[in-house]
Amino acid sequence: MISIDLEEGTYLCFVAKGELPQAVIETWCEIWNYFADVNCAEKRAYKTDFELYLSQNEAEIYIG
């Protein structure tokens, strides 16, 4: 078992569903577009982002 320490804070979670890794790549494109929107209410900290793979066709991407 491996443990890691993550930066404390609030994370926004995006879900990638479908064939991996393509679904994760597409979700990252959605994330970049989301934060590029001038009306985006959230601000990225640019400290810690991480991906959690739940199955062979689902992952969660957490943005700090």
Q: What is the pLDDT of residues 26-62, one digit of tens each?
A: 999 999 999 999 999 999 999 999 999 999 999 999 9
- Is-contact 31 63, C-beta < 8 A? yes
The pLDDT value given to residue 58: 99
Would residue 37 count as lying in a domain? Answer: yes
In a domain, 46, yes or no: yes
> Does residue 44 lie in a domain region?
yes
Question: What pLDDT does 19 receive?
Answer: 98
Among candidates 35, 31, 62, which has minimal Cα distance to 49? 62
Domain residue limits at 28:
20-63
Domain tally, the chain: 1
Residue 8: inside a domain: no
pLDDT at 61: 99
For residue 31, what pLDDT is reported?
98
